[in-house]
Chains A and B, each alone.
Chain A
Amino acid sequence: MLVCQSVTKRFGALAAVEELSFEVEPGLVLGIGGPNGAGKTTLFDVVSGLQPLTSGKVTLDGIDISHASADRICHLGLARTFQLNAGFDSMTGRENVQVAAYFGHRNRLFPGLRLGKETQRRTEEALDLVGMRERAAEPVENAPILDRKLLMIAGAIVTEPKLLLMDEPVGGLTPREIDEVEAVVTRVVQEKKLTVILIEHVMRFLLRLSDRVLIMHHGSKLFEGLPEQVSDDKEVVEVYLGKGSKTESAPADEEKIATKSVAASGAPLLSVQDLASGYKGRDVLHGLSFEVPEGSLITLIGPNGHGKSTLLRTISGLLRPRGGDIRVGERSIAGLPTEAITALGIVQVPQGDMLFPEMTVRENLLMGAYLERDRSNIERRLDEVHAILPRLKERSNQMASTLSGGERRMVGIGRGLMAGGRLLMLDEPSLGLAPIIIDQIYEVVADLKASGRTILLVEENPMRIVDLAEEVHLLDNGHIVWSGSGQELSESSELLETYLGG
């Protein structure tokens, strides 16, 4: 059905996809996995005609589509869903699908005024198939992520494609929702006799749905074979799942340290009481309460989209809380401007680094100490940061935009340390990094903890922190649903299964 021959896509010197060849047989599901930045979405962009390919050849049913435009490819029978929710926000779900049904099926140079019976029928059929018929009357902007994902699938199948490309159909969903999407995709594939290529991070989903699996790494093929073979392939396990992915129970002495430091601390440095917060009239956090004692490492874990970043942004004052209270010691900081909260020593290292790209590493670090007036203090902290993160010293005069992902993360942490605050808040320090780099980052986190710093850390993946954290809170839909020590968490595989999809 689809044949890719040595497909290559370069952005400047960077090869996002390099010499990739594969075939998809009609009626089968090909699953593509691989770490972030492996080139999966770029591959889809190239195949669906959104990005021109640098070299190689793509054929669909024998027709060369290497250089065809996106709408032409769509009319040839290739439909695609997107990783992010690409919907027409102000239209209802039904209208979104209708647009796809009307324009996606064949070329409409001059759109008519009416949709026609055939279009209506296909729309309702597609909505039915994904189980969205009852919920399709609402504008898409208010729809939950799950509904948007389902609508996108409906919009893709309504064009009656031969081949469907799905980019992370379950990214950011809860395990229950993932199961629902899985059922829908299975149904769609069977009823429509579709050929599917899907990209997914959630391995469980990927392996269960796919007939064949292709694992990408650095733009190339690392593995291709049956789903059952993936977990036997040593290379894949190492690259994709990471060496540290197997949970091992923490050594007993770590536990002792943990209990000791909690016991030693008195009043909490930070306490969050009944906190509510969110965006544009929609609360993401509903009544969250927890404490961060001095000298401890407290962790919140939960899937994407469940309020982890919202929580940190609310504490640091980037978002105003809509209810409840945040206290530093005895003082309420709810509603204070960010610079005042930073001045109190509550320092957030934001998700995805957010460095100043056109500044050198040194300038970035100096920005971290913006509120410090005493030069000798700044120099001392700079030495401290260089001692913890020696790489930053070597890179001192390099522009931040030219650093690797791991180095950027280190600059982000170093910049946070430069503030000399009392509480360091880390937002997903492992996000988007290769496992070996994640190990390095967590070594740094362990060092920071060992030096007595107080840390509040949020993560999607709990594996790396169970040995470090004094207390772990599980976040589900803006609520804390479970709290306990890292030790208890690693023993409770059931909780992991339920909230993190195993």
Chain B
Amino acid sequence: MDVLPYILVTAVTVGAMYSLATLGLSLVWGAMGMLNMAHGALLTLGGYAAYSAVTAAGLAWPFGFVAAIIVGALFGAFLYFGLVRFMLGSTAFETNIIIATVGIAIALENVILLIYGGQPLGQPVSLDGMFRLGQVPVASQNLLIVVLSVAIMFLVAFTLRTSKIGRAIRATAQNREAARLMGVPTRSIYLQVLAISGALAAVSGVLLSSITQLSPPLGNDPMLKAFIMCVVAGLGNVQGSVLAAFVLALVEACTQFYLGARWGLPVLLILVILALIWRPYGVFGRTQVTRL
């Protein structure tokens, strides 16, 4: 049996999810120099929000996504009002915010543990059924993941490229002070970026839990991978990190299949180290960090 098509299907699905998670992380880093360590916890939160919307509130499954987006965006906004607002502008912002968001991540994970308990739950927000792609059987859920992720990524990229808010976000990322002089309310831009990133994380959390299971540490592993991909691509480089996500997902899938599951992360990390020795600013990074 030829295994390559199966590996490809897995890689594309996982890559799509990774890239969605990476997109949010990269956006926040690029726009405001903030490494949001609570990004993983936001993924988890999104997954549980969708779960509750469908099981407790009894909504139809597509509304799970809506619930996740709302909760994720609200939590992103909370990060701004509760944290970023006070720390922004201090000289040590970039390091302080890492510590602070690690704290938020731990707290959020434990709140979820308190409410939902530690036992894994099944994600109801998913498509049943299979279809055949040539000879290869593919779960409909995998298709949903890929289509949704790619659609969202194009939407975000399109918004950043062409819309006024997108231009304001890029301007703020590239030169905050100049953006302020143009009349851009940079603080509200930061709020919007955090909300968008929260929503992106929540959606990727729903997708992720639909092919694994819901558990409080759900987001930790993807967060680590998303971080790796951001660094490989060059921090803040959104398009590059999406590409890196797919490539690394493919590498991971191959390694896991041919060498065994436990070799996935080590091989990934070795590749990352080699890539960074070769290109210290990231594979797509330039010496001068390009943002957004």
Contact = CB atoms under 8 A, between A and B. Distances in A.
Given A367-B167, A371-B183, A355 B178 contact: yes
B185 A339 contact: yes
Among A337, A357, A358, find the residue whose CB has the most chain B CB atoms closer than 10 A.
A358
B182 A367 contact: yes
A489 to B, nearest CB: 29
B178 A370 contact: no
Given A358-B290, A367-B167, A316 B178 contact: no
A366 B170 CA distance: 13
A338 interface: yes
Given A318-B177, A350-B177, A358 B170 contact: yes
Given A363-B167, A419-B182, A419-B183, A356 B177 contact: no
A10 to B, nearest CB: 14
A318 B167 contact: no
Given A367-B182, A370-B184, A358 B174 contact: yes
A347 interface: yes
B70 to A, nearest CB: 28
B291 interface: yes
Contacts of A355: 175, 178
B182 A370 contact: yes
B21 interface: no
A342 B181 contact: yes
Q: Which of B170, B178, B184, B185 has the most CB of A within 10 A?
A: B178
A368 B185 CA distance: 13
A357 B174 contact: yes
A338 B171 contact: no
B267 interface: no
A73 interface: no
A343 B184 CA distance: 10
Nearest to B178: A354
Given A338-B180, A358-B291, A370 B168 contact: yes
Contacts of A356: 170-171, 174-175, 178-179
A99 interface: no
Interface residues of A, number: 25
A159 interface: no
Contacts of A357: 174-175, 288
A143 interface: no
Contacts of B288: 357
A490 interface: no
Q: Which of A355, A357, A367 has the most CB of B within 10 A?
A: A367
Contact of B181 (A347, A358, A359, A363): A347
A48 interface: no
A415 interface: yes
A350 B183 CA distance: 13
Interface in A383-430: 415, 419
B292 interface: yes
Interface in A270-326: 316-318
B183 A359 contact: no
A318 B176 CA distance: 11
Given A316-B181, A318-B180, A339-B185, A366 B174 contact: no
B170 A348 contact: no
Chief secondary structure at chain A's binding surface? loop
Interface in B175-219: 175, 177-185
Contacts of B182: 342, 367-368, 370-371, 415, 419
Most chain A beta carbons < 10 A, residue from B167, B179, B181, B182? B181
Contacts of B291: 358
B174 A342 contact: no
A350 B167 contact: no
B179 A367 contact: yes
B177 A359 contact: no
B178 A359 contact: no
Contact of B171 (A339, A348, A350, A367): A367
Nearest to B188: A339
Given A356-B170, A358-B170, A343 B175 contact: no
B198 to A, nearest CB: 24
A367 B181 CA distance: 10
Given A339-B185, A354-B175, A359 B180 contact: no
B185 A359 contact: no
Contacts of A367: 167-168, 171, 179, 182, 184
Contacts of B183: 338-339, 342-343, 370-371, 419
A407 to B, nearest CB: 16
Interface in B152-178: 164, 167-168, 170-171, 174-175, 177-178
Nearest to A344: B183
A373 to B, nearest CB: 10
Contacts of A366: 167
A363 B292 CA distance: 14
Contacts of B184: 339, 367, 370
A359 B168 contact: no
Given A316-B181, A370-B184, A359 B167 contact: yes
Interface of B: 164, 167-168, 170-171, 174-175, 177-185, 288, 290-292
14 contacts: A342-B180, A354-B178, A355-B178, A356-B170, A357-B175, A357-B288, A358-B174, A358-B291, A359-B167, A366-B167, A367-B184, A370-B182, A370-B184, A415-B182
Given A318-B181, A356-B175, 12 more contacts: A339-B180, A342-B183, A354-B178, A355-B175, A356-B171, A358-B291, A358-B292, A359-B170, A359-B174, A363-B167, A367-B168, A370-B171
